[in-house]
């Protein structure tokens, strides 16, 4: 059924809208305030158009891409997404397995509900995204824990100095923790497949889920009648914290949420091995430029020194190709993979990765290239 009904990544969203309780779907799909950043992300791709080359032998082509000394099957991976295990049964594990089997990287969220050690056990290739706790000794403890789990790539998300104003969550009835009540009960009754297959199954087998991997929120239950919980302060974090982490972490270090070339340069000077140009999928500062828009200046500033990656609104193989042409070496995709995990579990994640790979494979031929590394600014023009 998946093969017949899901032809592109956006089809997973249509299915997830029906499958998930409204507050949960809204949490994934939503952004902040006027949703301008989210719109910018989706529209940015239209600003560029391809200049395909013809009559080249493209019969032998490959989507393989090297990153941090590892060869991946394609130039994309799965972005970190918090509380995935509330959307899909053992969501983080399913995403990690799907990524592993598809030969692509997956980033474990610092706000996940499954202990990072369990995810690392099924996918030691996974990266870990940390939301920094405020206190230095807790930062050290978190870094040591990630290393002890056998993970080798640490990613710091730096665009979350404070909680954004996500009005849509309030309107849709979403909060963390979720508040039990008639509204939530009705959502459960009207979405029985999610209730039985994800929610009750989780509670019966693993108890009430709580945040596992962030020292700021660790142990906080995701469902509770106590809504006054403190999410931990992050608004004082600065470059000195990054330096401290660089000194303690010997693996690859990536900074996610860079939108300005000066910040990219500062991150690289501090010892980062890569940056992800990202506006958090439009979920932090409203009215932010799209990552695609600022990518060329960041790539030209630091692209020769470190890996410049990007995320936000990527839904098609051709979207990925445009980012590669504009100087990115790798792309991350968020929401579609979580929708896929929610509606169809592991087969859904595999299908989503396969769709993107297949689109890339055929569109590379149509563009006239055989290798990911050959996609350059020469193949693109302002639309
Ligand atoms: C996110 N994102 C995110 N980022 C991060 O660094 N840590 C996190 O815990 C989360 N959590 C999260 C939850 C959900 C439901 C979404 C949709 C997103 C942001 C994510 O990593 C990525 O930057 C964007 O989702 C990319 O945009 P697209 O592909 O979703 O449009």
At residue 233, the pLDDT reads: 67
Average pLDDT, the chain: 94
User: What sign does the dihedral 68-74-80-86 (CA atoms) show?
Assistant: negative
67-81, 104-118, 189-203, 211-225 — which is least confidently predicted? 211-225
Q: How many angstroms separate the first and last alpha carbons of the chain?
A: 37
Q: Could you identify the atom of ligand 1 that is nearest to the CA of residue 38?
A: 31
Q: Could you identify the atom of ligand 1 that is nearest to the CA of residue 155?
A: 6
Q: What backbone phi and psi angles, to 5 degrees, belong to 138? A: -75, -35
Pocket of ligand 1 (CB under 6 A): 27-28, 41, 79-82, 109-111, 129, 157, 256, 278, 280-281, 283, 311-314, 333-335, 338
Considering only residues 220 and 357, tell me which one the structure prediction assigns the higher pLDDT: 357
Nearest to 345 by CA among 171, 22, 82, 93: 93
Closest protein CA for atom 29 of ligand 1: 334
At residue 179, the pLDDT reads: 84
pLDDT in tens, 298-325: 999 999 999 999 999 999 999 999 999 9
Q: Could you identify the atom of ligand 1 that is nearest to the CA of residue 41?
A: 31
pLDDT in tens, 257-291: 999 999 999 999 999 999 999 999 999 999 999 99
Confidence of residue 180 (pLDDT cuts 50, 70, 90): confident
Q: How does DSSP assign 313-343, residue by residue?
A: S--SHHHHHHHHHTT-SEEEE-HHHHHHHHH
At residue 234, the pLDDT reads: 77
Q: Could you identify the atom of ligand 1 that is nearest to the CA of residue 311?
A: 26
At residue 231, the pLDDT reads: 57
Which conformational region is residue 349 in: left (phi greater than 0), alpha (psi within -120 to 50 degrees), or beta? alpha
pLDDT in tens, 90-138: 999 999 999 999 999 999 999 999 999 999 999 999 999 998 777 788 8
Closest protein CA for atom 11 of ligand 1: 81
- 150 membership: H or E segment, kind and range: none
Closest protein CA for atom 19 of ligand 1: 280
At residue 254, the pLDDT reads: 98
The span from the CA of 58 to the CA of 52, in Å, is 12
Classify residue 117 by burial, with Cβ atoms within 10 Å: 0-12, 13-18, 19+.
middle
CA dihedral 352, 96, 152, 323 (to 10 degrees): 10
Catalytic residues: 280
At residue 117, the pLDDT reads: 97
At residue 217, the pLDDT reads: 79
The span from the CA of 265 to the CA of 242, in Å, is 13
**Span from the CA of 86 to the centroid of ligand 1 (angstroms):** 15
Confidence of residue 221 (pLDDT cuts 50, 70, 90): confident
Confidence of residue 343 (pLDDT cuts 50, 70, 90): very high
**Span from the CA of 282 to the centroid of ligand 1 (angstroms):** 9
Report whether 157 contacts 80 (CB < 8 A): yes
Strand partners, 126: none
The span from the CA of 50 to the CA of 317, in Å, is 13
**Span from the CA of 61 to the centroid of ligand 1 (angstroms):** 31
pLDDT in tens, 14-73: 999 999 999 999 999 999 999 999 999 999 999 999 999 999 999 999 999 999 999 999
**Span from the CA of 338 to the centroid of ligand 1 (angstroms):** 10
- Does the pLDDT value for residue 232 go beyond 80? no
Q: Is the pTM of this model over 0.80?
A: yes
Q: b/e for 268-301, b at 16 or more Cβ within 10 A?
A: bebebbbbbbbbbbbbbbbebebbbbbbbebbeb
CA dihedral 337, 325, 44, 269 (to 10 degrees): 80
């Amino acid at each position: 059924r998946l093969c017949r009904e899901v032809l592109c990544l956006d089809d997973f969203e249509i299915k997830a809208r029906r499958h998930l309780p409204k507050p949960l779907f809204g949490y994934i799909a939503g952004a902040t305030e006027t949703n301008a950043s989210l719109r910018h992300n989706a529209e940015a791709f239209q600003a560029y158009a391809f200049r395909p080359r013809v009559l080249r032998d493209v019969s032998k082509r490959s989507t393989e891409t090297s990153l941090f000394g590892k060869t991946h099957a394609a130039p994309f991976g799965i972005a970190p997404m918090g509380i995935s295990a509330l959307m899909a049964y053992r969501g983080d594990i399913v995403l990690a397995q799907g990524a592993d089997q598809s030969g692509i990287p997956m980033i474990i969220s610092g706000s996940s509900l499954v202990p990072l050690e369990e995810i690392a056990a099924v996918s030691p290739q996974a990266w870990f995204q940390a939301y920094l706790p405020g206190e230095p000794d807790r930062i050290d403890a978190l870094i040591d824990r990630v290393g002890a789990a056998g993970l080798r790539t640490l990613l710091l998300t730096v665009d979350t100095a404070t909680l954004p104003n996500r009005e849509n969550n309030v309107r849709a009835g979403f909060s963390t923790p979720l508040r039990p009540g008639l509204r939530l009960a009705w959502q459960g009754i009207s979405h029985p497949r999610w209730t039985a297959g994800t929610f009750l199954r989780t509670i019966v087998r693993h108890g009430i889920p709580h945040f596992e991997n962030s020292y700021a929120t660790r142990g906080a239950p995701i469902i509770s009648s106590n809504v006054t919980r403190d999410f931990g302060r992050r608004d004082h974090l600065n470059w000195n914290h990054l330096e401290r982490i660089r000194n303690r972490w010997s693996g690859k270090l990536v900074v996610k949420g860079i939108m300005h070339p000066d910040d990219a340069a500062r991150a690289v000077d501090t010892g980062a091995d890569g940056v992800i140009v990202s506006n958090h999928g439009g979920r932090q500062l409203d009215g932010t430029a799209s990552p695609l828009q600022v990518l060329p200046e960041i790539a030209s500033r630091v692209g020769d020194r470190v890996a410049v990656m990007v995320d936000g609104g990527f839904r098609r193989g051709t979207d990925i190709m445009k980012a590669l042409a504009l100087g990115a070496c790798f792309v991350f995709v968020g929401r579609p993979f979580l929708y896929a995990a929610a509606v169809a579990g592991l087969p859904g994640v595999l299908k989503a990765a396969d769709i993107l790979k297949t689109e890339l494979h055929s569109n590379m031929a149509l563009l006239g290239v055989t290798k990911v590394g050959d996609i350059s600014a020469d193949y693109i023009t302002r639309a």
